[in-house]
Amino acid sequence: MKSQAALSKNSLQLGKRHLEVMDELESMLDQGLSFSTMSDLAKQLKISLRTLYEIAPSKEELIVTTVDRVLKKHGKIAMDAMNAQSSPIRKLESFLAVANQAVGPRLERFTQPLNNLNSSKQMVDYHEQYITTVIKNLLDEARTNKEIRDIDTQATALLLGGLGRYFLSKKHLKDLKQTPEETSNFLTEIIIDGIKMEKS
């Protein structure tokens, strides 16, 4: 599979028509529709097979590239929500509230096609690492501002950043009483409330 840098480079080379095609594929995946081959998808979208291969060299990488784009758009929404807040702890709570939606019903539909794709791991790892880094930085700021206790911010960031991926696992889904998003939000609230400094 392409590296994350290669994915980003490829996205910069895509033209308007390519992005329109990816929007159409995103809509298909959102509706739970599938395709067996690149040729099958080209027929469904009524475009040339060449256009698809200009985006990605295989069905697998086309799905990974599309989901990568969806997650990046979702990440921007999370960053915008975070930047609307003033204090680090409020930024963290706002960021996680949106980030946890990545394990909600809509994003779950997007990640389902990736379950059996080994090449998706690098892309998913990248997004989890990005989220974890943002969380770590906000926890460090909150600790400096004495909004939270003197905790191991790296360990806490790894825990909070990995909740969504953990609960999306099929072996855990069947035992959950709530949706992965609701479960992640519930545990996020418990963890953050537990590390906040008590108000005097």
Of the two residues 190 and 4, the one the predictor is more confident about is 190
What gap in Å lies between CA 24 and CA 18, rounded to an integer?
10
What does 4-20 look like in DSSP terms, one character per residue? HHHHHHHHHH--HHHHH
pLDDT recorded at residue 1: 39
Q: Which of 15-29, 103-117, 138-152 has the highest mean pLDDT?
A: 138-152
Instruction: Specify the DSSP class assigned to residue 41.
Output: H
Mind listing the pLDDT tens digit for each residue in 123-172? 878 888 999 999 999 999 999 999 999 999 999 999 999 887 776 666 66
Q: Which residue matches tokens 């295989």?
A: 58
12-26, 70-84, 92-106: range with lowest mean pLDDT: 92-106
pLDDT recorded at residue 172: 63
Output phi, psi for 89, to 5 deg: -70, -35
In this structure, how many other beta carbons lie within 10 angstroms of the beta carbon of residue 199? Answer: 4
* Side-chain half-sphere CA neighbours of 166 within 13 A: 10
What gap in Å lies between CA 81 and CA 97, rounded to an integer?
9
pLDDT recorded at residue 107: 64
Mean pLDDT, residues 1-12 taken together: 45
pLDDT confidence band for 2 (50 / 70 / 90): very low
pLDDT recorded at residue 142: 97
In the chain, the percentage of residues whose pLDDT exceeds 70 is 81
Mind listing the pLDDT tens digit for each residue in 31-70? 878 888 999 999 999 999 999 999 999 988 898 888 888 8
Q: What is the CATH number of domain 60-195?
A: 1.10.357.10
- Please state, rounded to an integer, the average pLDDT across all residues of the chain: 84
pLDDT recorded at residue 12: 47
Mean pLDDT, residues 104-112 taken together: 65
